[in-house]
Structure formats: structure tokens, C-alpha cells
Amino acid sequence: MTKDKDNKDTELKDPTITSPRTAEEPGPKAEKGEDSCCTPQQKGADKDEEERSSFIPTILSLILLLFGIGLDFFDVEWFKGYLRLIVFGVAYVLVGGKVVQHAVTNIGKGNIFNEFFLMTIATVGAFYIGEYAEGVAVMLFYVIGEHFQKAAVARSRRSIKALIDNRPEEVSVLTNGQVSIVNPKKVNIGQIIQIKPGEKVALDGEMLSESSSFNTAALTGESKPDTKKKGETVLAGMINLDRLVELKVTSGYEDSALSKILKLVEEASGRKAKTQKFITRFAKIYTPIVVSLAIGLALLPYFFVDTYVFDEWLYRALVFLVISCPCALVISIPLGYFGGIGAASRNGLLFKGSNFLDLITKVDTVVMDKTGTLTEGVFIVQEVKVRSLEKDRFLALTAALENKSTHPIAWAVVEHSGNAYKQLKVQDVEEIAGHGLKGTVDGQELLIGNAKLLQKFNISYAPEIEEIVETIVVVAIDGKYEGYITIADKIKEDAALAIKQLRDYGIDNIVMLSGDKDSIVQKVAGQLKIDKAYGGLLPQDKVDKVEELKKQGKKVAFVGDGINDAPVITLADVGMAMGALGSDAAIETADVVIQTDQPAKIATAIKIGKKTRQIVWQNIGLAFGVKALVLTFGAFGVASLWEAVFADVGVAFLAILNAVRLQRIKF
């Protein structure tokens, strides 16, 4: 259950994230009475099937239009009268029926002046004066533009069911010594469940076994596994790394940690701002002006022209309306964005909607996760410090014992040491929960673990150990402290360059949020010269930080890679995910995917967005300029309908060339 604004319990519905910036769906959730057109309302597979089938009427309309134009061109004798009207009429209804229906519906709601109304009266006017092909072409071009727009953002409409599917569908319940496989939704609080090595925890619970290590990255984003001991809480979404463990369930399925992340994603998607299409805003001003001018053009000459003939001036008014239809504008705007999306793809960036190219140019604050975004997300030995032994011997002894552990930190030591440890004999290995390992290697007694391990055996060690920020492996041999190995997550090669480039593009507020230990987070932030950094955060904490920034009026881009980042990626004005190694949840909820996992691509995305915006406005200016010129000629009877068509086609062609230019620019 979740809470609504009135603090009433409401059932959590299956959350579906749709693109908040598509031409047909201007928000993540359709509000009552929201202005949209030709939008299938089904979800999931039904909706996908509906979208695929929507191409069929468009194709049929195009075929009929070309067929009709061909017969007109060759002046075929039998293609006259009602037959010609029927062919073009069917072509018109196939692509324009829903637009006309939407215009009529809007009129009933008092929303008259929009692009749907303008296209409707312009195309009906074209049919009235016998220019059927133009009437069909206007609607066809509009619908084709919508298809392109939907294709560009199709991936961002996917449901976050991928996140839900990451939760285990089965759990092993222990009852009276017998194990049974049960759906986690049916498990009650207080029941005992078993988690095998490598298995994901399905429900929050209290640890009943002595100890085990868990991968907690899905919840905290921290790269270091967490050792849980008896009595401690284990959360749903963690992965058991070591041994078979038993948990006593402490919360129901819908109240588990992972379920709460899902709720956060749903709530964040609902708070994400809607962006109205430029053409819609423009049409509210443009449409009443051109309709008024057309009416005036048809009627006012009666008072000033001695040879006034109503049909002649009505024809001019209809030509004026047809010319005024924003067909070229409708084409030129998405073309520029498609060019930007194509350029981004060539540079390893996937924009899930054309409007994100606009939004990213307005970003003034970039917030980043640490692990997997600015760092590699893998443990690497940073420093080896030895007191008396040779370094190679020290590493070989340590690796020989660590090789008996399944802990990722142990693997990092073994990977770094080489192959010499394989020749050493290891005996009497004992794991001391929460501390480390004890064993005999080549006749020497080794203790390997944290500082608490040496304290347990009353072995003194260098005071500097307490001041080390990184994960540390302390080693004692035959009862004496011998040295230590520091292990840390490696900073990505281009991370420093990414920060510099962001500052070059005017981003003066760079923040890092991480579930990792705060001391480590602050050290990484210092190395990269990040403005502010916060460590030890859970998903809700990250959401709170970003909401705080947005309340300050900041335009926030967030970059992350894990399931735990999904809610804040969705909430940010522009959510970005690392695509190569990132989780499916982060990638599906993101607005922009960095397919190469390079943080320097954040600045590249901003640069492409700015260049795209520049070219789009060039296309808009060109469309307006030519339109105004032809409208003037049409009002004075100088321009015919075909000249208007030619002007539209010319503008569209120039817009295409301008958009293609984007793909040739090196970013």
C-alpha cells in the first residue's frame, strides 16, 4: 500500500512509465481531459500491437494519394467526379479521421484554436475547392511526423515491469524442517525462509544463521559486499554470496525494501513535469489569427472592391487557409530532432525522446552516482605496505589464504598477487564472522581481515590504519602485524575530463550522491573536484536530495546505473543511465542512455542538445519566413495552391538538409 495526498491507503497499481515528452502523449500519465490525439490507450502488448497496426492506414493513404496524383497527372478520363472524390476521400479519412474527431471534441470542450482545428478547416477547405491531393497531403505529412516521433521514443514507453521481474517469483519456506517452494506474496511475517548462495533475497528478514556476505548494490549502490551477522536485518533485493542462510520474515511482500523502490519510481514519474509541444502553444496564437484573416479576406473586399465576386474571394480565403496550415513546420521540427537523435547515436548516446534534446540544454545542475558512474564498480588493489617481508612473498602468503574465500575483496587480492600463491600449502582455514580469515600457509599462521581481527587476538598494529579511507586488508603473520593492502573502486579514466567539460559548458553545480561510505565518497569528490558529495544514502535519500535541488529552481540531470538509482533517474528533469553495465531498471527509466559508460558523454549530450536546438530554430525560422511570404502572395491572388505546395516541399527539403548536417558534425 502507499499513501495519497490525503494520507489514505491506496492500492499500488502496476506502474507504467511512458515518455513524458512525446508528440501524442505529453505527460507520463494522461490526465482527465488532457489534449492528445490518435493515442492508443492500451497498455503492454496490446498497446504495442496497436502502435504497429497504426502504420497500416498511413501506408494505405499514401498509396491512394500517389495513385490519385498519378491519374490526375495523366488526366485519365474515367478518374473524374465522384470516383476521384471517393479515392482521395478514403485516403483523407485514413490519416485525418482522428485529427478531425479530435478537433471536434476539443471544440466541445471550448478548446477551439489548436493545430488540429487549423488542419481540419484547411484540409476541408482544400476539398471544397477541389484540391483533394493537398488536403490529403497535409494530414498525411502530419501523421507521418507523429509516426517518426513515436518511433524515436518507443523505448521510453516501456513499463517498469522489468524492475518488478527482478524480484524472485519463488522463495524457499522452512516449516517443521520441511522446505517448500512458495510465491513470496503468500509468505507471512514470522515465517522462516532459506536463501541459497547466489540467490536474491525476496523478502526483508532477520538473520538467523551466524553470518554471510551479501551484495547490496541493488539497494545502496555500494560496491563493497556487506557481511550480515545473526540478528541483523537483510533486505529484499540483496544477493547472498557465501552460504545457505535462514531468515525470519519481518515484512510483507508489498512492504519490502525493493517494493518501496518501485513505489518511489511510480511517485517520481508522477511528479515529472510535462512539456507541451511547441506547435500546440504556437497554434493557440497562430490559428485564431489566420482564421480571422481568412474570414476577413473572404468578406471585407465586398466593401472595397467594385467587382467583388464572393466565390472568387472565398477561393482566395480557402487558398490562404490551406497555405497557412503548418505542414512544413510540423515536418521541420521533428526532422531537426531526428538529426540530433541520430548524431547522439553515433556518439554512443540514446535519447528516448526529441524533447530531451531541448531539456538537456536547460540543465544547470548535474547530479551523479559514484559506483558504476564515476568509478568502475570493481575492486582493485591500490597499495601494498609491508614491514619486513619481501612484497612478493607477502602477497603470495596473503593470496594463498584469501583464495579459500568467496568474498570479492579476497578475489581482488588474489587477482593482484599473480600465480606464486598456487605453490603454497594451506591448512586449518577458519573464517571468523565479521572479522576475516585464520589459517596456516607454508607452516606460518596468518590472520587476514580488518583491524577488529587483530584486536581480537591482541595484536598491535600501526596507528595509520585507523586513518585509511579505503577498504583495508590487514595481515598478521605468526602473531605479529606484518602489513596491509588497500582496496578501492577505480575512478574511470575520463571522470576528471567529464567534470572539466561540464564546467566548460556552464554547469556550475556538480553533486555526487552515493550509497557508499561517506569517507570514500568525499575522497573521490576531492580527487575529481566535485562541488558537493553525500555518502551513505538510500534510494529515498537520493530522491530527497534531488527534490531539494528542484525546489531551489535548479534544472537537474541525474546520472546513475543501478536499480537503486531508478527512482531519482525518473524524478530528475533529465535522467541519464549508464547503458553498458547499468541495470535494466535504470536504463528503462532513463531519458538518456550513455551506451559507452563514459561520464564524459554527459557533456557531449549537452553539446548535441544545444546544436540540435540551434538547427531546429533555424528550421522554424525558415518555415515561418517562407510561409509568411507565400501567405502574402496568396492573399493578393498571386500564389496558387500548387505554388504553396512547392513552397512547403522546398522548406521541408531544406529542413532535411539542415538536419542531416547534424550527423556530419564532430562532437
β-sheet with 226-229: strand ranges across? 226-229, 211-215, 239-240
Query: Any residues with CB less than 8 A from the CB of 664 and at least 6 apart, and which?
Result: none
Q: Is 369 a catalytic residue?
A: yes
Q: What is the DSSP string of 210-238?
A: SEEEEE-HHHH--SS-EEEETT-EE-TT-
Query: Any residues with CB less than 8 A from the CB of 547 and at least 6 apart, and which?
Result: 571
Task: Go through 381-417 and write b for each residue having 16 or more CB atoms within 10 A of its CB, e for each that does not.
Answer: bbebbbeeeeeeebbbbbbbbbbebebbbbebbbebb
CA distance linking residue 20 with residue 233, whole number of Å? 38
Q: Are 55 and 147 in contact (CB under 8 A)?
A: yes
Report DSSP state, residue 199.
P
Count CB atoms within 10 A of the CB of residue 155: 15
Q: Provide Rg for the chain, Cα atoms.
A: 33
Query: Any residues with CB less than 8 A from the CB of 586 and at least 6 apart, and which?
Result: 560, 561, 562, 563, 565, 566, 569, 577, 578
User: Cα dist. 582→109, 257, 269, 355, 575 in Å?
Assistant: 45, 20, 20, 23, 13
User: Cα dist. 432→211, 214, 453, 594, 599 in Å?
Assistant: 9, 16, 8, 42, 40
Q: Are 294 and 286 in contact (CB under 8 A)?
A: no
Of 226, 242, 358, 369, which residue is the catalytic one? 369
Q: What is the DSSP string of 443-505?
A: TEEEEEE-HHHHHHTT----GGGGG--SEEEEEEETTEEEEEEEEEEEEPTTHHHHHHHHHHT
> Which residues pair with residue 342 across a beta bridge?
none
Q: What is the DSSP string of 310-373?
A: HHHHHHHHHHHHHHHS-HHHHHHHHHHHHHHHHHHHHTTEEESSHHHHHHGGG--EEEEESBTT
C-alpha cell at 393: 612473498
Q: Are 596 and 580 in contact (CB under 8 A)?
A: yes
Count CB atoms within 10 A of the CB of residue 559: 29
- What is the 3-state composition of the chain as percent helix, strand, coil, each rounded to the nearest 5? 50, 20, 30
SS (H, E, C) 395-440: HHHHHHHHCCCCCHHHHHHHHHHCCHHHHCCEEEEEEECCCEEEEE
User: Cα dist. 481→71, 393, 402, 435, 484 in Å?
Assistant: 95, 15, 17, 15, 9
φ/ψ of 530, rounded to 5, equals -85, 140
Count CB atoms within 10 A of the CB of residue 467: 8
CA distance linking residue 74 with residue 348, whole number of Å? 49
Task: Map grid coordinates 541520430 to a residue.
Answer: 342
Q: Cα dihedral sign for 111, 116, 118, 120?
A: negative
CA distance linking residue 10 with residue 1, whole number of Å? 6
CA distance linking residue 135 with residue 416, whole number of Å? 72
Active site residues: 369
